[in-house]
Structure 1
């Protein structure tokens, strides 16, 4: 599967500089296509400027009546049709190349944005909803792709045509040329001034769109809770509020952008009156021919057409400007996880925490640390049962091992190497995590286990499923491992077993299981325990559990309380020590079971 190129760094800088950096980065490598586009536009524009000259000669020749040269008229007509057809072909070619440039650039940008988002640490993802991120990566870039694919063709071509038309006015009559130059200057200046008024409303419109998508994503993700608690009406009213805000901002930004073309229409109404008046006056004075008068009108059309194009594209530019700013802001986000340079050593890995402190907001002294001075050693190949009350820091501790966050004090080592010095790719290839909520994709069984890695064979997937006890389930699937997994088609136990099979396919050195049996019935838990035993054999493992049966086969037990290590030692020794926290938990569990059975 092709990998996206590493996203280029965009350090904090003014929005205009970030926008220019984005354009340079993604259009720069396409310079030859851009040059081809420029050649097509120059050729088409040049021919477009020649066509009115042919019309002038045709009109002047036809005005001669019986003295007209019929052969010359025929030649002019054929030449005009041929050149007009060539202009259309070159315009079509420029449109195709422009679209290719636009989509190539923005597809690269989408891939880089996606890779950049995946590289950010969890702090950034906690601050933004997935729906908002989708709108950033798809919605903003789509607005930009329309800009890339059309702006170069229409705006650059329009600028060339406008310049050429003004020059032709000068060649026809310098006085008319001066008047048209002033008209074009005033029109462009006025349009540029009113254009700026639409940028900020458009940015707010895009922000409101992202908020609406985020709202929808959150409610769809929690649909079961919304329905079961009868909160549908409340969330629908909330959606209507969000949608109303988006609608109001969208209509407001449209009104601000529409000022551009409204102003253009008013100015050109005055411009046409002026050019027709000048043409009639010069013809009546005998200064120009009828063909030349017609020529002036044709060149006025050529002035209006590119400015109309500029008017439309300036509105697109407002959208693109807002999107470019938001994309630039996104690319300036930098992860706190610095890339290491060392690989992890081969073979089994021991895990060591040395005086580890951690806070989710290390820059804010008012935010209390989650972990305080945590130290322990887990020998290679052993399993650690991690116990503690909710909020004691268990899940946070495991996130530090896989470097979803970095410690704010102390260090974590694997195989004697500080994990901050290890390449992230090497670390995450050797450390596997199974969370409580297993993420399944709308894809085949095979793709769900291999994460869409084509190098993993069907036989390997089948062997992993057999290993975790899902062989019978697999045999009942009509398409085997190629069978699509439908949403909600698996029980919680089956989903956990599939997650175990994922880990077996990767064959990591360290495995972290976060509450693997928290939602299972006893029969399914027994099956899961067997699969877990096979999964953890020969691997260093951390198993987070509230139910003590889950860690009954662990080699060591670590009890956390309020972010600190309350107890750490061999499971069997702690179970025999009546004063230990673990023994107290065992007695509490036995007492609860007796009360339930009584």
Structure 2
């Protein structure tokens, strides 16, 4: 089984150290109880020896017996208190780490994001494993301190017994180190297989209708469950490791205990030790071997290391850092200067792109599929980050703007909007809690959504899970959500593609009226969408090849070829570019659009 790169382990170790440091305060009650429990473990054998020696010498049990009984009862109370305190401490650290992972996953730019299955596995499995470390470490450290005290007591009672016990320590350390390393690798493989399984399942659930319609249910089931073999192999590897380690530890510790007790017994038989000390030795051997038989702690450490390595890899992904320059007032002019965006393998997706969006105008962004239109559109609101170059709004780099100012400056409407919130009203006002109902309804009317919303059982108060919405209706609600947010720059990423041409024309006219005087970047796949904008930016080869009104660009056959695959791009044979341009030229509020 291959080892993880050293950088991965270093990041994982740093993360584990951070988790332990950040959650140490919540572990104070648990540690205090553990310390008391360990102190009692050290005291009980000595008290028991005093009781036995007192009885044998005819002094009676007396005070030592009462102290021994009280110590046993207090130890039982500590044993009862430790599990809930440990669970509470673990829950806090796991919640903290889960929050951190989810927050980071939502901040990572789309091109660097992890797979859905990996994200689910990290939040549900890897984070809990790593988050359990502080509690395990606290228990292990306190237990180790108790074991050292028991070990010292053995030497104080009888150095020969202490020396015999010492022989087991180096062998135990070797077994423990081998187990932790191998178990961490096995658990990492297990998490990887689980992530693969989750990714396949999420993809299949998203395409469930296609699978059923295609009659490929059995084949898809086998494809989704294919990683189960890897899950099984990793799980069995873990069990084999535990089995081998348990018997090794068991044999070693049994021999150690037997030799230590035999040595002490010979001391009693030879008159070197009083009889009560034999019981003390037996008790301290049990205390001392506690540090050498913590297979559960070792397993928790291995799992924490594997989980931390995985989570640390995600947390190492760069995320946009908000700036501190307040957004200046301005009309909303946007400039892209020499923007370069590379893929993970170094390929230039955008290669020195330059673009100017005049304030208050609408610009259609056109290009073949895969040209980088959505990538470029994402740069304005830092949904994607340039590797080189600048993205300026009214002369200020968007990287210098605080997050709140950036969201108030640039807002988005997407092709496939995800509606979030309890009700339809919440979905439209999402991100702006407290938005008045009137503002929500005005935005819905502009997006031509008000009519179908009022037909829902409870209108705008209808829960989203009880609102049967078509793809086009969802798209209009997503557009309404955008229109309800005042901003200087609006990015419409193919936001009307799910509408028929008549509805699209109605929505476009209404939106144009609402956004008159606002800067708009419209990612366009339809001829009609591009024709309604003031200008068109033609993206080709990672650069803006040309920027001009649609009717001017339409004369170029390469530009017309961009729309060749679109359903609404078919034109009668022999129609000239000029006549088509005339046919598609429309008049909208705010002036002539080509």
Q: Structure 1 374/186 Cα, relative in aligned 2: closer, same or farther at 3 Å?
A: closer
Counterpart of 1:198 in 2: which secondary structure? helix
Alignment of 1:46-195 (within 5 A): 46-63=39-56, 69=60, 72-73=61-62, 75-125=63-113, 128-153=114-139, 155-195=140-180
Question: Which of 482, 486, 492 lines up with 2:465 in the alignment?
Answer: 486
Picking from 472, 494, 499, the partner of 1:515 is 494
Q: 2: CA distance between counterparts of 1:533 and 1:257?
A: 67
1:161-217 C-alpha deviation (Å, 9 max, x unpaired): 211211222232222122222234433343334433322222222222222222222
1:310-362 per-position Cα deviation (integer Å, ceiling 9, x unaligned): 22211111111112222233323334x565443332353022344x4545339
Name the CA distance, whole Å, in 2 between partners of 1:14 and 1:353: 36
Q: Provide the secondary structure at the position in 2 that maps to 1:507.
A: coil
Distance 1:588 1:300, change over 3 A: closer
Moved more, 462-471 or 249-258: 462-471
Aligned to 1:3: none
Alpha-carbon displacement from aligned partner over 1:379-409 (angstroms, at most 9, x marks no partner) = 2121123334434443333233333334456
Say if 2:306 is the partner of 1:322.
yes
> Does 2:347 correspond to 1:361?
no
Greater mean alpha carbon deviation, residues 494-503 or residues 326-335 = 326-335
Match of 2:504 among 509, 513, 525: 525
Q: Structure 1: how far apart are the matches of 2:429 and 2:69?
A: 60
1:434-449 alignment, distance < 5 Å: 434-441=413-420, 443-449=422-428
Q: 8 Å contact 1:362–1:408 — kept in the other structure?
A: no
Segment drifting more, 128-137 vs 493-502:
128-137
Q: Is the Cα–Cα contact under 8 Å of residues 446 and 511 in structure 2 kept in the other structure?
A: no
Tell me, in whole angstroms, the C-alpha distance in 1 between the residues paired with 2:376 and 2:440.
31
CA distance in 1, matches of 2:436, 2:41: 59
Relative to structure 1, is the Cα distance of residues 99 and 456 closer, same or farther in structure 2, using a 3 angstrom cutoff?
A: farther
Unaligned runs of 5+ in 2: 576-594
The change in CA–CA distance for 1:280 and 1:457 in structure 2 (over 3 A counts) is farther
Which one of 572, 576, 591 corresponds to residue 572 of structure 2? 591
State the distance in 1 between where 2:519 and 2:349 align: 24
1:277 matched to 2:256? The reply is no
- Greater CA deviation, 517-526 or 171-180? 517-526
Task: Give the whole-Å Cα distance in 1 for the aligned partners of 2:291 and 2:356.
Answer: 72
TM score, norm. by length of structure 2:
0.83
Match of 1:6 in 2: none
Q: Distance in 2 between matches of 1:79 and 1:553?
A: 91
Aligned pairs for 1:371-410 (under 5 A) are: 371=350, 374-407=353-386
- Assess if the C-alpha contact under 8 Å between 1:197 and 1:257 holds in 2: no
> Within 2, Cα distance between the matches of 1:18 and 1:562?
38
For the 8 Å contact 1:500–1:532, the answer to whether it is kept is no
Equivalent-residue separation in structure 1 for 2:117 and 2:274 (angstroms): 65
What secondary structure, in the 3-state scheme, does the structure 1 residue paired with 2:342 have? coil
1:41 matched to which residue of 2? 34
CA deviation after TM superposition for structure 1 residue 63, in Å: 4.6
Asked if the contact 1:567/1:581 (under 8 Å) is kept, the reply is: no
* Aligned-CA RMSD value: 3.5
**Which residue is 1:204 aligned to?**
189
- Residue by residue over 1:65-86, the C-alpha shift from the partner in whole angstroms, topping out at 9 and shown as x without a partner, is xx563xx45x544433322232
Change beyond 3 A, Cα 1:440–1:553: same
Q: SS in structure 2 opposite 1:546?
A: coil
**SS state at 1:349 partner:** coil
**Does the CA contact (< 8 Å) of 2:193 and 2:230 recur in 1?**
yes
Q: Which runs of 5+ in 1 are unaligned?
A: 1-11
Question: Which position in structure 2 is the counterpart of 1:468?
Answer: 447
Count of aligned pairs between the two proteins: 567
